[in-house]
Structure 1
């Protein structure tokens, strides 16, 4: 997770990339309520499973609710509980989850009042959910799913009786509203999520034969569709996947001719669950009050479709209070003084350097510290923009030997010691050690090769490689020039609001130190946060230095493996990929790539990006897991031989999670399947661990 990212819907539009293979049951959870053929990719007359599907938990015999809601039922303000829940509620499967107590509130910190991190606490809009740190795929809004024999037609069966937080019925019409009136509406520009594209990249066909059935038809095998649907937090971080049609249609010109020309802006504001208290939700809590720049408060959703194994409707906790503290140091002081009840370290810029201070303040804060595995593939990352708009520098950036030399000159040992306190695994860059492909077949060896490919600190070899490229000091000023003799300056671009004491800035200073030492003029270069994304997409920025990689599966998240959208290591090629299969794909081909709207460029024929795309197209349609893994290794080999396309420090360093004494059902690292998986947005954390099941041992003390 980036320490600087404020993730938005459109930025991550194309984020749900294709995922690899079958699921396996972990030790910590079993499946949710309802039946499931989850993970299955083949079907004859009956669904055929390719991997182990979670065994469903039996629906509870008796249903219970919070005293707060029971009082509203008694007063005639709410329907009875059985009329608010679906026929088969989702049952949380975690073995470590105790039966809780109702009541109390939870105080948490936020970087802004419209913070994407708030959405990471709520998994309620997802048709399918990740369990066991991403090892298992389970039901969500959908209780079962299956495909035809070649995985080109997927059918999802949703729970009967689902309701939005305002009591209105949820149906597949809410998905079709999103699909027909937003995704396929060129005026709105919602964009097509990757799970809605076939293995060939063409757009799928969505049909809803009835209120609880969705059929998605592709023109090619698409075996990883369920896994992609489980990724992210839907209706918030990545693809929306649904909107409450009964509420949102009043802001859409198809249903309301009086909306103005700028209707899309108002539509976005009205659909935002952390901005608009009126918009219905399927999450456990719904927004109650919004105070821009100050706070948001959340109240229990009386129609939430999830229960514990004893039949208690969740959430246990009455409400959430997110206090906005935009200054990082102020936020840390307030954490230490005990003003919050649960703190997810990555969302609050907590690093390993904060551990000693947090431990010293434990008596005052009343918080215990849980160190979870990050699952990170890199720690703080560095990468060049392969589509930088200055031709001579772009040509140098695209030479593997140049990037390999800089990687060898990077003293990661010093960075590991000073930033990560000698934790984590040194890495050139890549995906994390928890990635599923790295645990089967030749996976461990392939991962080791990638991780160690250019990780050794060898400045003398680096200087020799630069000399052979003609990157030498030609004017005697102690700094190397480009091969054409022009000045060579590597600018370390980062958002100007970055935490100056945090890991990204410390890493940037060490990069500068390492590269200055071999004659590379390296300069710290802050950029206005509001324009960083646009400048990067246009090729105007040379580097990105305030991000990191993490994932559950290489094929689940090929965003780092190859350019798929404009925010990573080849911005114009990524934008070109994002428009594949759309009407805009063939437009403006006679215009300079940097002057196109939006700027975009095809990869060099036969070049690494071109080959990565072609291999990825094969990955998408390959049903056989072993063959698919082999294609993934072929993609990784390009990174080993012609990378690094991004450079890391260490993989899988610990992350801080703070929990107030008396807050229960927050799992420890030891209770999770893989030690936790904190950093990957595809595996939404804390949402995947069901915060709705958290409870106070003494709720009255936390009103």
Structure 2
């Protein structure tokens, strides 16, 4: 009897275990984790989820995905979902609820390449991501990652079976292709971008197998992993598409070029790639719609949640990627939202009216505190919520061109006294009250966001921030910049009126601030002529060294950014999208002294310190000691004169947009919405 009883109990236990193993998976959300603790916040790998939940996940697709796929030029009919997902998809725990499919996320930007990174971040993916605590690095496109002890080797493990949005396999070869054959391809980049060199030397990208790739750096680069979490750049390109136009990969490349209507490889690569790893460039649909249709491939395939299907001067439209690699904890393929429609409107009034009329689902970039009272008053009318979030990198700076093409202005701008005078001539308390509704703190510009590092001092932040027009006048008099004819405008050393042209884009800072600063400087005899331009015009002029001064927000300054990308620390003290000054110094450095202008000793010291800084782990005593020296040099020379920092910024979302979490920080420096997993947003009133 005991033997029979044991056998029966054993059979019952076996059946129970079997039932548990194949039970329906619980609807795990961040609000209710059902007792599960993931290895990384708010997400699981498939096997991890099934093991911890004691279930086998089954998968389901958007019922309209075939129709959406039909709108993607060049895509074939869809295979079953099991053939579209990776073998190990990323399992995402939504914030509040398992979502529903459908609807269109409606957004607004100023123009192509102007204010569009807000919506780009909604569909963005990269090898890794910062979790919404803005501290924890988590897998994204990569399934796993490893960094060796000295930060010279970074290995990524990819997802077996991952596919591009056209259904072709995505492998480690696509990462090596991006670096070896795009970044170092002179048909795309005449000179290799500095940001992808390490102490002037390239890294080595090694394909171990289809799912494993290793980056080997010539010097320690412990911050490289973070770059792939905060950077707009995506370190992968579709070799299967672009490689067919290259002799290296296709012996019949000339026939491929002829069939597609390209004159040569350079034209093909730049038509698809845009000559930039910035995803905001106009797509071929906008550049050449006829050729797009003729080639049957309108845009390069993507790994992102949505893919562009239409692009015009009025905006762009996207549909869900049918091969996207994420699912929720019920096995539903993400994204939930069918479409993204992005309209362009350069005028702030048009943007605010669209929000108040309920025509916008999500907006954070380009919303300023001065807009808040009006938008708050109309929340009910537009059925949206507008709230505040802390900001990083929002301190607006004014930076005079130290290597100006006009040698007289270059001499003036390099005089510390001029920069000190311009700084103390500004009434930051008034700026704070008028522009920021009293929500900020007068603050000098520093190259490291104080809330993300430990080496910025109060002395740094308060340097030359007192409002003292008498001191400003005295400093300018001491320089010999006098007003000899009494017209209220001082004269330059060559006798010409001291008149500066300030070109600005309203994407970079509130217009009201520029008007105040113009008046402050005018009151001490420096006349400023304001001219609003598009972001494209501003950036082009600045990078051509054609501006008297640059003005933008002090973004790209958080610890994880400067710890791996020193471009904001050395000439030209920024990048193409947020240029600073000292372009001729940068040319001297890049050319080895054969071009440009030799910089002063303090700039040479910045080059040396920055090279050391990026080789030390952020937060280490060595990193902080070097960082403090860099900040001191920047502040001593007032490279970027700051205004008001530590402010809050508004963001809004329509009330039918669900699974939206309050932002820990509103900032470009962590790439806007990327840490908050927009792929799990859904529209409760899908239309």
On whether the aligned pair clears a TM of 0.5, the verdict is yes
> CA separation in 2, counterparts of 1:481 and 1:668?
51
> CA separation in 2, counterparts of 1:420 and 1:487?
33
> CA separation in 1, counterparts of 2:403 and 2:53?
54
Which of 348, 360, 372 does residue 328 from structure 1 map onto? 348
Are the equivalent residues in 1 in contact too, given 2:131–2:138 (CA < 8 A)? yes
Q: Give the equivalent residue in structure 1 for 2:625.
A: 630
Which of 488, 496, 505 does residue 498 from structure 2 map onto? 488
Summarize the Cα distance change of 1:522–1:696 in structure 2 as closer, same or farther, 3 Å threshold.
closer
SS at match of 2:323: coil
Q: 1:396-407 alignment to 2 at 5 Å?
A: 396-407=412-423
SS at match of 1:132: coil
Which of 493, 506, 513 does residue 512 from structure 2 map onto? 506
> CA separation in 2, counterparts of 1:319 and 1:574?
46
> CA separation in 2, counterparts of 1:312 and 1:398?
59
Q: Give the equivalent residue in structure 1 for 2:22.
A: none
1:33-53 CA-to-partner distances (Å, cap 9, x unmatched) read: 349xxxxxxxxxxxxxxxxxx
**Structure 1 unaligned regions, length at least 5:** 1-26, 36-55, 236-240, 594-599, 670-674
Are the equivalent residues in 1 in contact too, given 2:393–2:555 (CA < 8 A)? yes
Are the equivalent residues in 1 in contact too, given 2:432–2:442 (CA < 8 A)? yes
SS at match of 2:633: helix
Q: Give the equivalent residue in structure 2 for 1:452.
A: 462
SS at match of 1:487: coil
Instruction: After TM superposition, give the deviation of residue 483 of structure 1 in Å.
Output: 4.4
> CA separation in 2, counterparts of 1:58 and 1:377?
43
Which of 293, 312, 317 does residue 337 from structure 2 map onto? 317
Summarize the Cα distance change of 1:129–1:195 in structure 2 as closer, same or farther, 3 Å threshold.
farther
Is residue 702 from structure 1 mapped to residue 686 from structure 2 by the alignment? yes
SS at match of 2:254: coil
Which of 332, 340, 354 does residue 371 from structure 2 map onto? 354
Which of 438, 457, 465 does residue 475 from structure 2 map onto? 465
Q: 1:25-64 alignment to 2 at 5 Å?
A: 30=41, 32-34=43-45, 61-64=56-59
> CA separation in 2, counterparts of 1:530 and 1:114?
7
> CA separation in 1, counterparts of 2:373 and 2:348?
17
Are the equivalent residues in 1 in contact too, given 2:187–2:265 (CA < 8 A)? no
Alignment RMSD (CA, Å): 3.3
Summarize the Cα distance change of 1:119–1:618 in structure 2 as closer, same or farther, 3 Å threshold.
same
Are the equivalent residues in 2 in contact too, given 1:343–1:658 (CA < 8 A)? yes
Which of 535, 538, 543 does residue 541 from structure 2 map onto? 535
Instruction: After TM superposition, give the deviation of residue 638 of structure 1 in Å.
Output: 0.6
> CA separation in 2, counterparts of 1:530 and 1:543?
16
Are the equivalent residues in 2 in contact too, given 1:387–1:573 (CA < 8 A)? yes
Instruction: After TM superposition, give the deviation of residue 211 of structure 1 in Å.
Output: 0.9
Which of 561, 564, 569 does residue 569 from structure 2 map onto? 561
Q: Give the equivalent residue in structure 2 for 1:139.
A: 139
1:463-500 CA-to-partner distances (Å, cap 9, x unmatched) read: 222232223334444432334554322332225xx48x
1:617-636 CA-to-partner distances (Å, cap 9, x unmatched) read: 11122348211111001100
Instruction: After TM superposition, give the deviation of residue 530 of structure 1 in Å.
Output: 5.2
> CA separation in 2, counterparts of 1:695 and 1:473?
62
> CA separation in 2, counterparts of 1:184 and 1:423?
46
Instruction: After TM superposition, give the deviation of residue 398 of structure 1 in Å.
Output: 1.0
Q: 1:331-480 alignment to 2 at 5 Å?
A: 331-340=351-360, 342-346=361-365, 349-378=366-395, 380-430=396-446, 435-438=451-454, 443=455, 446-480=456-490
Summarize the Cα distance change of 1:628–1:456 in structure 2 as closer, same or farther, 3 Å threshold.
same
1:110-129 CA-to-partner distances (Å, cap 9, x unmatched) read: 333566423222222x1111
Instruction: After TM superposition, give the deviation of residue 58 of structure 1 in Å.
Output: 8.0
User: How many pairs are equivalent?
Assistant: 605
**Structure 2 unaligned regions, length at least 5:** 1-37, 71-75, 286-297
SS at match of 1:463: helix
Compute the TM-score of the two structures, normalised by the length of structure 2.
0.80
SS at match of 2:123: coil
> CA separation in 1, counterparts of 2:168 and 2:379?
45
> CA separation in 1, counterparts of 2:54 and 2:431?
51
Are the equivalent residues in 1 in contact too, given 2:188–2:270 (CA < 8 A)? no
Which of 684, 691, 694 does residue 678 from structure 2 map onto? 691
> CA separation in 1, counterparts of 2:111 and 2:329?
35
